[in-house]
Structure 1
Amino acid sequence: MPEPIEQRVRALASQSVGRACFFAALAIWCVMIGLIADPLQSTKAGAILTMMAACVLLLKAGRVLHVSYRKTEVWLLLNRQIELRPEQAQRLITGTLREIYLRYAVYAMAMAVGFWCFALLLWLMPGSWENGVVHQAVGFVTGRHREIEAFRTMP
């Protein structure tokens, strides 16, 4: 028994938006790993970038109803074949995409709030990570911390 077209469109829309969000999350993760020497800055950068991703998803959700369904990735994933009239296909595909964009925007905002809460926690208790991790990470990353300090103290 073939699955109803609504379920297929929902699955393909979720796959399409989820893939894009995964790549955005991967980019945010790379930025955060790049700033790992300063956990507070890393967390704040993750929060800001995640909020930006949520804003992009909200903009896409607002704009998708005004875009032709034939210009969406869901249409391409359906192999450009659907047994509906164009008006029904437009309403089904763009409505489903809007719903999925909004769902992922809520997920992104929840992650951003989590990052902001963690950043606040790090900011409120700076002594627990400031002296140990930051200085140790600099020496670990360069591997030449002692040699640099010895060179600086030379007469």
Structure 2
Amino acid sequence: MVGHSLGGVVVSASGALFPCGAIMNIDQPLRLSTFKEGLSQLEPLLKGGPQSFATAISLLFESMMGALPANEVDRVTELRRATQNVVLGIWGTVFESSAEELDAQVDALVAGITVPYFSLHGVDPGAEYTSWLHNAVPSATVEVWDNLGHYPHLVDPGTFLRLVNDLSTNK
């Protein structure tokens, strides 16, 4: 299973609960307490009026583009549909839970991952995260394509597809 961003959390949860051959999580660190910390700065804007929400989403996504070529930035921007009630619904647990509660939920979930787990990041999540993930998911491999941003798979699709192929054939 392959998932990007929130999809990385989804495939991680699915792979922990249901049989699968391998999991690839693209640019979604699972330490949701760290995500909460970063997101808390935008929370008032996200929960504000329509213009405030649009500004927050634009700031968030513009900061993630990294090394994407201009045509890919345009394509990703065109495809993005951020609806306030959906975004707030998805991130509601992050806003409403304490950092400790989020970490406990993630720890319990990832304990069920027993298949090969590949974590690809376009921004270095740091040595502490990598160490935590290796301890939490012994089958984890972490690879960083530093400074590529939130979409490393779109910056270098050929290498990404080779990784997916390798993961699917070398389970």
- Taking structure 2 as the reference length, what is the TM-score of the superposition? 0.24
Q: Which has the larger radius of gyration?
A: 1
Task: Flag the structure with higher strand content.
Answer: 2
